A = this chain, B = another copy of it.
Amino acid sequence: MGNRFLFIVAAVLAAACSQAPEKMQLTDVQVLGSPDGNMVMTFGLSSDGTPAYSLSLCGKDVVLPSSMGFTFRGNRVNDSYETRKGHIYKDPVDFHSGFSFEGAENGGLDETWEPIWGEESRIRNNYNELLVKLGKDGVKLNIRFRLYDDGLGFRYEFPDQENLTYFVVTDELTQFAMAGDHTACWIPGDYDTQEYSYTVSRLSRIAAGHNPDYNASQQICSENAVQTALQMKTDDGLYINIHEAAVLDYPTMNLDLDPGKLVFKTMLTPDAEGFGARMQTPCKTPWRTVMAVDDARKVLASRLILNLNEPCAIPDAAEWVHPIKYMGVWWEMIADKSKWSYTGDFHSVRLGETDYGQATPHGHHGANNDNVRRYLDFAGDNGFDALLVEGWNEGWEDWFGCQKFDVFDFVTPYPDFDIAALNAYAHSKGMKLVMHHETSSSAINYERHMEEAYTLMDKYGYDAVKSGYVGDILPGGEHHYSQFMINHYHYAVTEAAKHHIMVNAHEAVRPTGLCRTWPNMIGNESARGTEFKTGVLPNHVTILPFTRLQGGPMDYTPGIFEMDMARLNPAYPGKISSTIARQLALYVTMYSPLQMAADLPEHYAEHMDAFQFIKDVAVDWSRSEYLLAEPGDYLVIARQAKAGAKCKANMGMDGHEWFVGGVTDENARDLTVDLSFLESGRTYTATIYEDAADACGLGDDPAFNPGYHIRSVKVTSADKLPMHLAQSGGFAISIK
């Protein structure tokens, strides 16, 4: 491997587009090239022994020399106790300068692996690797770099060693020095939420605190900090994306910008004591990643984050993990047409003491037997796999925002929700119910009830749960993205796996590719989704695939057909900024193995022709083609259905089915869809769902009109389809 690497480095240095990296005052310089030779990472130690790295693509600076390291501290334990072990640093310790170089190892990998579900059925994982070994005061620190053709991943590793067992990371000092004032799609750095609209601006105009978006739990961490994944574009056409991979037992980071120098520094989400991470050697940090490509479509095609995660840890996952197309008793509560709660009798609820049997129903409870059966009838008739039912369990009269510990028990249905009968009814229609566990962010309460809750699911035949973490975290002082909660979310997923349960966690931490290892993590929210209704900006879904979706699928909950919220609830004025065709496009552009048809049956019944696309569209894919893309502007993606995937939509498919989706921002556009991805010489029938000629998807525009037009044409791989997209519009094409 070593020899092979030397050859590669030589090849890199000889490659036409390579240039010498930025001149740096570094010693012990190590150079790592990507498999294709276009990307070069340079590592070295500065004059004071601070580790630093830089990155270039075809000679263009991606990351200027950027320092690395930590500040450590011990816990508050009196460390004079005679039996204390290892090094617990009581006072802050510099663990970023003063290092000496103690060696390096080279390696690499070129493998192809098959995900349980995904955007494609085979993923190539091809990188060159450099492991740098450093030492300081007898303490060892390794830094592992993996360089792909489309980006860099690196992480800190603390090997098993006599002089360091336990320590606390108080600050991680990893820098990402940008080479220019790039244009970025950013959301504010926050310890508790990602549910923000994106701002597209120069780096120097980042002003996180000025974002007016409100969330039930939020703590903006710095005026100039933004969250990962951060998608940037340079003036000379590079697309740079900074992210994280495999965040386990460590908080997520924000990127805190020095606006004068254009240097980002990691800013870890603190725990209740203000610490970043409690560590025990041997251990490692998550990967820090810098993707750099010369075409926006390559960002979407990148598998960098997945590849940096460990292989599947569930041996029998393929037997029970499966994609899901589902409906839900949900949107009607989001729109305040019905309620999660059952009664108006209680302003304070204590589970186990409050007697719901004696309560007067307020008559607006969504999860009642009749309504659930109504949804099951519609979803069953239209080929769905499952139905989510929220508000099925006692406690919703008094659950929100008070850091209430015993908020739900996750096992006690409301009097009008017959859990046995409704599951049996779903099964009779070849469907399952999807469980709902809103934790109200009372994490320990959830853990106390988790085994019983999962066992209840087993009993009645649920195999997937949507969990929720609305509001501030309890125990108090912890954050949604602090190490404690990172470990909690992971615990929920691994415990679920023991029960063969799939997890779709909302308001949890943004995913960082862990679904490769734990494919029962079937979905996540962790971004502003459809539930924000009129609060979703037109450019939002043109950005998410570059940012939030890099880490894993999002339960975006598309498929809204009735954009006029007042039709659901007169007290709720305003229209969603979308056309119906755009809603269909999202089933393709917003990849997820878990796709919802979020609207009400009665709204679909009004547009059964358009609804046909939602019925038809596959949920699992063998191949994806990223046809057109510019973050913040537009996206066109084509995907080939995977034959034999274990969901109803895919079951009858043989792999010759393609689905195409396109979305635009607030601007109308004419785009051309090149069908050359189709099998040559074969004729297909394309059903095109497009914006009506007079459509307009801007919710606050007097011309708003979500109308659509459907047509069918015969197509071959030689065809190029011209498509018109309305403002905040889109299109969807089903090709068979």
Contacts and interface: CB of A to CB of B under 8 A. Distances in A.
Interface stretch (A268-276, A429-437, A533-541, A653-661): A268-276
How many monomers of this protein are in the complex?
2
Contacts of A404: 166, 280
A78 interface: yes
Nearest to A399: B85
Contact of A405 (B80, B162, B487): B487
Given A476-B273, A476-B278, A403 B77 contact: yes
Interface string A81-98: 101111010000000000
Interface stretch (A37-45, A214-222, A255-263, A522-530): A214-222
Nearest to A278: B403
A448 interface: yes
A402 B216 contact: no
Nearest to A271: B476
A402 B280 contact: yes
Given A476-B272, A478-B475, A347 B403 contact: no
A400 B84 contact: yes
Interface residue SS majority, chain A: loop
Interface in A71-121: 75-81, 83-86, 88
A81 B275 CA distance: 29
Assign chain A's interface to a size class: 35 or more
Contact of A476 (B75, B350, B398, B447): B75
Interface string A563-587: 0000000000000000000000000
A484 B405 CA distance: 10
A51 interface: no
B476 A348 contact: no
Contacts of A403: 75, 77, 166, 278
A305 to B, nearest CB: 25
Interface in A365-406: 398, 400-405
Contacts of A491: 448
A716 interface: no
Given A401-B83, A405-B487, A162 B218 contact: no
B84 A401 contact: yes
A363 interface: no
B272 A78 contact: no
A272 B475 contact: yes
A412 interface: no
A701 interface: no
Interface in A157-175: 160, 162, 165-166
Contacts of A204: none
A237 interface: no
Contact of A448 (B78, B447, B476, B484): B447
- Select the residue from A214, A273, A487 with max chain B CB neighbours within 10 A: A273
A165 B404 CA distance: 11
Contacts of A471: 77
20 contacts: A75-B403, A76-B476, A81-B400, A81-B401, A84-B400, A84-B401, A84-B402, A85-B402, A86-B347, A86-B348, A160-B348, A165-B347, A165-B402, A166-B404, A281-B348, A282-B348, A447-B447, A447-B448, A451-B451, A477-B477
Which 4 A/B pairs are nearest by Cβ-Cβ distance?
Answer: A272-B272, A166-B402, A272-B477, A273-B476
